[in-house]
Chain A
Amino acid sequence: DAGVIQSPRHEVTEMGQEVTLRCKPISGHDYLFWYRQTMMRGLELLIYFNNNVPIDDSGMPEDRFSAKMPNASFSTLKIQPSEPRDSAVYFCASSSYAESSGANVLTFGAGSRLTVL
C-alpha cells in the first residue's frame, strides 16, 4: 500500500481564495482524521470520520472550514474564504483497529503545507 496520499503538498494562495485539500486513506482503514500543525499549538484534531460518517468536528475552527468524505477512499478539507491565520501544515491520517496492538494506530500522510498571503 502506498500509504496515506495527500495533495497538494504545497499550496500558496491569497486571502479570500478557496482552498481544497485532498486525502486518499489506506485501503481498509475505517477511520480518517484531519489534523492541523502550527508552532504554537502543535497538532490539533480538526475532524474525524468513521466509515465515511463525521463523528467529531468540534475541532473545526469556524464555518469557513468544511470536510467531506464521499466514499471510503477520498476526503476533502475545504477552507472558504481562506485567511493568513489558516497558514499551517494540514495532515490527513487513517487508521483501523489492530488486535495485535490492541489499539487504533494512526498512519499519517506527508501533509499539505498551506500559505495564505
Chain B
Amino acid sequence: DQQVKQNSPSLSVQEGRISILNCDYTNSMFDYFLWYKKYPAEGPTFLISISSIKDKNEDGRFTVFLNKSAKHLSLHIVPSQPGDSAVYFCAASPFGGNTGKLIFGQGTTLQVKP
C-alpha cells in the first residue's frame, strides 16, 4: 500500500525552464511534507519542507505547493540548472515532523539538459 506516490518516474526539461515534480498522498493524517534530492552513489539530502498549515513554501529557486483537499504537493524549480539533475523523493510524516519518521515516494528522476 503506497501511501505516497510519485507517478512520473522521470522528467526531462531544458536548462532555464521550470521543472515541476508532483506527489500524491492518501493518508489524511500526514501533516508535514518534505522533498529530498539524491545524486548517484550518495544518500538523499534534504531540500525543502512544508507544514500542512501552509500552502506554499519558497527557498530560492525551489518552491513547494501543498493542496490538502487534493492530497497533492508539487515542487517547482525555477530556473532549472544542469546541476539539478538528480532523483527527487517526496516524503510525508503524520507527526508534524517531530519524530523524523517519513514515508517516501518512489522518486522522480529529473534530467536538466544544457
Known: A91-B43, A103-B49, A106-B46. A43 touches B101 (CB 8 A): no
Q: How many pairs, one residue from A and one from B, have CB atoms within 8 Å of each other in the complex?
A: 73
Q: Check A85 for interface membership: any CB of B closer than 8 A.
A: no
Binary interface profile of A, 86-117, with partner B (CB < 8 Å = 1, else 0)? Answer: 00000101010100011111111111000000
Within 8 A of A (CB), among B51-110: 51, 89, 91, 96-107
Q: Is the CB of B41 within 8 A of A41?
A: no
Q: How many residues of A contact B (CB 8 A)?
A: 29
CA distance A48 to B44 in the complex (A): 17
A contact residues around B105 at 8 Å (CB): 42
Q: Is the CB of B44 within 8 A of A108?
A: yes
Q: Is the CB of A110 within 8 A of B43?
A: yes
Minimum CB–CB distance for A22 against chain B, Å: 15
B contact residues around A55 at 8 Å (CB): 99
Q: Check A72 for interface membership: any CB of B closer than 8 A.
A: no
A contact residues around B36 at 8 Å (CB): 108
Q: Is the CB of B98 within 8 A of A97?
A: yes
CA distance A108 to B32 in the complex (A): 19
Q: Is the CB of B43 within 8 A of A109?
A: yes
CA distance A26 to B100 in the complex (A): 14
Q: Is the CB of A105 within 8 A of B49?
A: yes
Q: Which residue of A lies closest to B43 (CB)?
A: A108
Q: Is the CB of A42 within 8 A of B43?
A: no
Known: A45-B102, A45-B103. A103 touches B32 (CB 8 A): yes
Minimum CB–CB distance for A40 against chain B, Å: 8
Q: What are 18 A-B contacts with C-beta separation under 8 Å?
A: A31-B100, A33-B100, A42-B6, A42-B104, A42-B107, A43-B91, A45-B101, A45-B104, A48-B100, A48-B101, A91-B44, A95-B100, A102-B97, A103-B34, A104-B99, A105-B97, A110-B43, A111-B41
Please provide the 9 A-B residue pairs with the shortest distance between their CB atoms, ordered closest to farther: A108-B43, A103-B97, A42-B106, A104-B100, A43-B104, A95-B100, A31-B100, A105-B46, A108-B44
